[in-house]
Amino acid sequence: MENPENNIDDALLAKYLDGSTSSQENEHIELWLAKSLENKKLFDQFKEIWFQSEAAKYNTDLDFNEKAAFKSVLSRIEEKDSSAQESIAKSRSLLPSWFTRIAAILVIGIGIYFVYNNLQSSKSEVLVSAIKESTEITLPDSSVVNLNIQSKLVYNNDFKHNRNLSLSGEAFFEVEKKENLPFIIQAGKLEVKVVGTSFYIIARENDNFIEVGVKSGIVEVKEKASGELITLKKGESLTYNKNSQSFKRSESFSNNQLFWKTGVLEFDNQPLNQVFLALEKAYEKEIIYQETEVKNCIFTGRFKNATLKEIIDQLQISFNIEASMGEKVVIRGKGCEE
């Protein structure tokens, strides 16, 4: 019988890397990782293979037939892995469980490595994923990117000479200035072009909107289909509606969009309903309230690394409201009714 300390389902690890595990499953995996160095080694092997296979999905240079071939080869590799695991099972009494699992996973890893490199040839790509927590990376040109959770970035290995990349999710960029080498980001239906600047992009696949906000410098945003071009300067932002294929420009930049990076929320004479909207986004928790009760409330304040409860408590002190905290935050009271 296998030692349960060194056993975990590969499918569960895949769910964890994909970000689809429950809090209970997360706890199970984290306890398993903490139990031994061998478990951590196994996880690192699995994660490396996972990222290599994920990168293939983002290779826009592959035509349909090549992608189908890649999928077919992966299927054959998985079949080989099943056979390998049966063979390994016969000798489990001689080898530690974690070692046999790594050996089986490497069958997939070696196959993916050769297929991936053959298809990519000299234009191999690098995938960076922020699965469970935000992450900061420095690109080969010394530009710095902060990726929010559930976000992915893909760039070519020759990035120093060809500063093109693609983003799915949310990121803040601090681009190293290179006059003759523009920095170009593919973000869904938009192309964002800069030389040297700092800005954020929110381009999640399942959202109806793409947002771009400029903290410094100048950013060009182009709709790929029509070629419509918008130039944004420092302190400006825009929202692109995927359904209507239209832009909405704003002469303001909200640092609150970077809460996931900075832990800071700032409000300067803002209506309370806008404060609640910002809190919902930042803490991913629904806030229920009556518009009529808060429409005349104006709030100014700054919070750093505060919990949602701490902020709600401050709002209760500032206004004539009461809040109950549960799965949702429910606001009651007269607020600022005239």
Length of the chain: 338
Type and span of the H or E element at 204: none
Same-domain check for residues 115 and 66: yes
Q: How many helices (H) and strands (E) does the chain have?
A: 9, 18
Residue 112, number of CB atoms within 10 A of its CB: 21
* Boundary residue ending a domain (211, 238, 255): 255
In one letter, which amino acid is 320?
A: N
Lowest mean pLDDT among 29-33, 99-103, 320-324: 99-103
Q: What is the DSSP letter of 176?
A: P
Query: Do 115 and 137 fall within a single domain?
Result: no
Question: Higher pLDDT residue, 314 or 22?
Answer: 314
**Which among 165, 163, 157, 166 is positioned nearest to 176, based on CA atoms?**
163
Compute the mean pLDDT over every residue in the chain, rounded to the nearest whole number.
78
Confidence band, pLDDT 50/70/90 cuts, at residue 9: confident
CA-to-CA dists, residue 168 to 29, 70, 253, angstroms: 26, 22, 21
Angle between helices 272-283 and 308-318 (to 10 degrees): 170
Alpha helices in 91-168 (DSSP H): 97-120
Q: What is the pTM of this model?
A: 0.61
- In a shared domain, residues 89 and 159: no
Quote the DSSP letter at residue 200. E
pLDDT band of 120, cuts 50, 70, 90: very low
Q: Count Cβ atoms below 10 Å from residue 211 Cβ, excluding itself.
A: 20
Q: Which residue did the predictor score with more confidence, 279 or 196? A: 279
pLDDT at 231 exceeding the cut of 80? yes
* Number of Cα atoms under 13 Å in the Cβ half of residue 193: 15
CB atoms within 10 A of CB 265: 22
Of the two residues 334 and 316, the one the predictor is more confident about is 316
In sequence order, the 6+-apart residues with CB closer than 8 A to the CB of 272 are 294, 297, 298, 299, 315, 319, 335, 336
Same domain as 272, residue 241: no
CA distance 36 to 39: 5
Give me the pLDDT at residue 28, please: 84
Same domain flag for 63 and 158: no
Do 172 and 218 have their domain in common?
yes
* Final residue belonging to a domain, choices 255, 275, 291: 255
The verdict on 137 and 244 lying in the same domain is yes
Q: Is 193 helix (H, G, I), strand (E, B) or coil?
A: strand
Reading phi first (left if > 0) and then psi (alpha if -120 to 50, else beta), residue 14 is in alpha
The CATH number that applies at residue 326 is 3.55.50.30
77 and 101 in a common domain: yes
What span, in angstroms and rounded, lies between the C-alpha atoms of 328 and 30?
27
pLDDT at 51 over 60: no
Among 79-93, 136-150, 220-234, 318-332, the range scoring the smallest mean pLDDT is 79-93
The per-residue pLDDT for 302 is 93
Residue 185, CA atoms < 13 Å, CB-side half-sphere: 30
Give the pLDDT confidence of 56-106 residue by residue, as tens digits.
444 444 443 444 544 444 454 455 445 445 544 444 444 444 444 544 544
pLDDT value at position 235?
A: 92
Q: Residue 223, by phi and psi: left (phi above 0), alpha (psi -120 to 50) or beta?
A: beta
Higher-confidence residue of 11 and 145: namely: 145
Using the 3D structure, point to which of 222, 255, 288 is the last residue of a domain.
255
Are residues 163 and 107 located together in one domain of the fold?
no
pLDDT mean over 271-285? 92
Residue 52 confidence (pLDDT): 52
Average pLDDT over residues 252-258: 87
DSSP 3-state assignment of 294?
helix
Looking at residue 124, its pLDDT comes to 73
Residue 79 structural domain = 4-122
**pLDDT at 109 (0 to 100):** 46
Q: Is the same domain home to 171 and 232?
A: yes
245 — pLDDT class (breaks 50, 70, 90): very high
**Residues 30, 108 share a domain:** yes
Residue range 154-158: mean pLDDT, rounded: 89
Q: Is 150 left (phi over 0), alpha (psi -120 to 50) or beta?
A: left
CATH of the domain at 240: 2.60.120.1440
Q: Are residues 137 and 223 in the same domain?
A: yes
| Joined tokens for residue 306 | 């505060």
Total domain count for the chain?
3
Q: Tell me whether residue 24 is exposed, middle or buried, using C-beta atoms within 10 angstroms of its C-beta: 0 to 12, 13 to 18, 19 or more.
A: exposed
